[in-house]
Amino acid sequence: MKYTAPLTDMRFVMHELTDFGAIRSMPGCEEVTVDLVDAVLDEAGKFGSDILAPINPSGDRQGCTFENGVVRTAEGFRDAYAQFVENGWHTLPFDPEYGGQGLPLLVSTAVSEIWTAANMSFALCPMLSQAGAELLSAHGTDEMKSVYLEKLVSGEWSGTMNLTEPQAGSDLARIRSRAVPEGDHYRISGQKIFITYGEHDLADNIIHMVLARTPDAPPGVKGISLFLVPKFLVNDDGSLGPRNDVQCVSIEHKMGINGSPTAMLSFGDNDGAVGYLVGEENGGLDLMFMMMNNARLAVGLEGVGIADRAYQRARDFAFERIQGKMIGSHDPSPVAIIHHPDVQRMLLSMKSQTEAARALTYFAAANLDLGKLHPDPKAAGQHRAVVDLLTPVVKAWATDIGIDVANTGIQVHGGMGYIEESGAPQHLRDARIAAIYEGTNEIQAIDLVGRKVARDNGTSMTAFIATIRGLDAELAQVPGDTVAAIRDRLRRGVQDMADATDWLLENYADEPRRVTAGATLYLRLVGIVAGGWLMAKSAAAADRLLASGDGDPEYLRAKLVTARFFADNYLAQSSALREMFVNGWAAIDGVDPENAF
């Protein structure tokens, strides 16, 4: 099956559901024209379809090899990466001062969806490199920027995040890696696990961002510092020097993303790896959170990309697979399964969820742009607050959708979906990791109820709820039953979200265990209502464009169908989710783990 980037829906979301016009009017974006963005998306679609997608199944089958400390990627990955760098794809969102193209993150987000859908294993390498470049842009010293940043921006060198260790998992307070000061640098020792692209053969150098403790650091997360540790040291003239004291011990054998090497790294087996402090001592976790939050939005986008790829495959199969007669017809002739109502239901569930997740992810990216670029500090702060609130929702809700859609894709294939040659199983295996890494989705839910809602007494969430309700007046002006039905579902959904938020705020301080027991349900409620709001907004826009004769009428009519389907099948779940969130604690309260499990 040939992958085709969903450019029409990408453009619709950018222009109709986000404030892209405001972004293009921001300082530094004067040359970001609609024609330029269209050209970028067109070329990205070709690169994803022609270069990355063909090596996705072969990368899954071959995986990566590890021998004597050397990791080799699957056939075709090196050539694809060389073309990726040569064509400047890595540079899209970065400052032109360091070789970037200065495009908004919203544009880069749409392009990154293409990379992920075409080949998630490949896309993980530039994703982490871009997060590292963003970190250095904001917090690196002038010397670090002059030595490392331009190479990271171009993609000539790649980047990693080194957080967790065998004994720590997601509890970073337990990390033990050490950093001993020595002149203008530190000597790093310790072991890190689950390091995506921690060792590979795509780039000439790998720049590791490593969390470690200095000798006098206080215990817990307050004693964590961040260090830049290159695979190869860099000479004064910018050329590569000797190998640093960091080695790949092994790579993981995984159920998915097999084309991406996941490494265990050992620092300081000999003299200690040379590392350079980023920011202040004991301030590493706050800095790493910047990199992690960028990665969490990118991982949410992985859910969108995999969902779209799985949907395309299932849709194409449904048009080709001849099986069973038309239900309700007396004609015994078999028809393509696309004509069976339950297959249509499955495909609409896949398509509508993917579109809702794409809309919410792009909406977050647009707010991130405005939070960085808006000249009014108050307005910029409001946009950043939206991003902070939605980051755990995008990460968790969109990746859960990726799993659900890929799983449904197998079901559409029937027996063929269980066969690797169909291609459908790879999407589910690849999608499954996204709900686990960069903080499991349950951790994201706890972050949402605790840090994002309870900590500011619901200020950001209350403002967001008001924004959703602000669409009601516009929906009321749209004629016809479709938008009226969506409006009714959205009104009930946002009320359930508001009621659940009120209950959260009333109970979190005194009963945090009770609230966090249902945190995943609350996050799912927020995701469904936020996604439903944007789908409702898309229905209103589609209706307006149809009336004016603008746009592709077939696409716009299909958008009305998916928006209605999402409202009837997902927004309709809001009351049940609120009820489970509020009352689901009863069975858990007082559980004795020794006897209950």
**Number of H helices and number of E strands within the chain?**
22, 14
Tokens 């439903």 locate to 532
The residue extents of the domains of the chain are: 7-63+72-154, 157-282, 440-591
DSSP readout, 464-532?
HHHHHHTTHHHHHTS-SHHHHHHHHHHHHHHHHHHHHHHHHHHHTTT-HHHHHHTHHHHHHHHHHHHHH
CA gap 424, 420 in Å, rounded? 7
In one letter, which amino acid is 482? T
| Structural Rg of the chain based on CA atoms | 24
Q: What is the pLDDT of residue 578?
A: 98
Closest CA to 257 of 439, 468, 399, 461: 399
Q: How far apart are CA 597 and CA 584, in angstroms?
A: 18
314/140 Cα distance (integer angstroms) = 45
Direct distance between the N- and C-terminal alpha carbons of the chain, in angstroms, rounded to an integer: 45
- Give the model's pLDDT for residue 387: 96
Catalytic residues: 438
Residue 438: what pLDDT? 84
Each of the 597 residues of the chain gets a pLDDT tens digit; together they read: 899 999 999 999 999 999 999 999 999 898 999 999 999 999 999 999 999 999 999 999 999 999 988 999 999 999 999 999 999 999 999 999 999 999 999 999 999 999 999 999 999 999 999 989 999 999 999 999 999 999 999 999 999 999 888 887 777 778 889 999 999 999 999 999 999 999 999 999 999 999 999 999 998 889 999 999 999 999 999 999 999 999 999 999 999 999 999 999 999 999 999 999 999 999 988 887 777 788 899 999 999 999 999 999 999 999 999 999 999 999 999 999 999 999 999 999 999 999 999 999 999 999 999 999 999 999 999 999 999 999 999 999 999 999 999 999 999 999 999 999 999 999 999 999 999 988 899 999 999 999 999 999 999 999 999 999 999 999 999 999 999 999 999 999 999 999 999 999 999 999 999 999 999 999 999 999 999 999 999 999 999 999 999 999 999 999 999 999 999 999 999 999 999 999 988 888 878 888 888
Run of H or E residues at 210: strand 205-212
Predicted local distance difference test score (pLDDT) of residue 22? 95
C-beta atoms surrounding 509 within 10 Å: 10
* Helices 77-86 & 120-139 angle (0-180, nearest 10): 40
Q: Quick one: pLDDT at residue 167?
A: 83
Q: Residue 378 CB: number of other CB atoms within 10 A? A: 7
Residue 96 carries which DSSP code? G
Q: Write out the H or E segment, with its range, that includes residue 352.
A: helix 341-373
Distance (Å, rounded) from C-alpha 84 to C-alpha 479? Answer: 47
Q: Which CATH code is given to the segment(s) 157-282?
A: 2.40.110.20
Pure H helices in 87-234: 105-118, 120-139, 142-144, 150-154
Q: What is 7-63+72-154's CATH topology?
A: Butyryl-Coa Dehydrogenase, subunit A; domain 1 (1.10.540)
- Nearest Cα neighbor of 402 from 372, 442, 435 is 435
3-state helix, strand and coil shares in percent for the chain, rounded to the nearest 5: 60, 15, 25
Structure tokens at 199: 């060792």
Distance CA 124, CA 116 (A): 8
- Estimate to the nearest angstrom the gap between the alpha carbon of 497 and the chain centroid: 23
For tokens 């301030």, name the residue.
Answer: 283
List helix spans (H) across 374-480: 377-413, 424-434, 441-447, 459-469, 472-476
pLDDT for res 592: 83
Distance between CA 189 and CA 176 in Å, rounded?
9
Query: Of the candidates 15, 20, 10, which has an alpha carbon nearest to the alpha carbon of residue 41?
Result: 10
What is the structure's pLDDT at 280? 93
Q: Residue 169 has which token pair?
A: 């998992």
Strands 205-212 and 157-162: parallel
User: Can you give the pLDDT at residue 525?
Assistant: 98
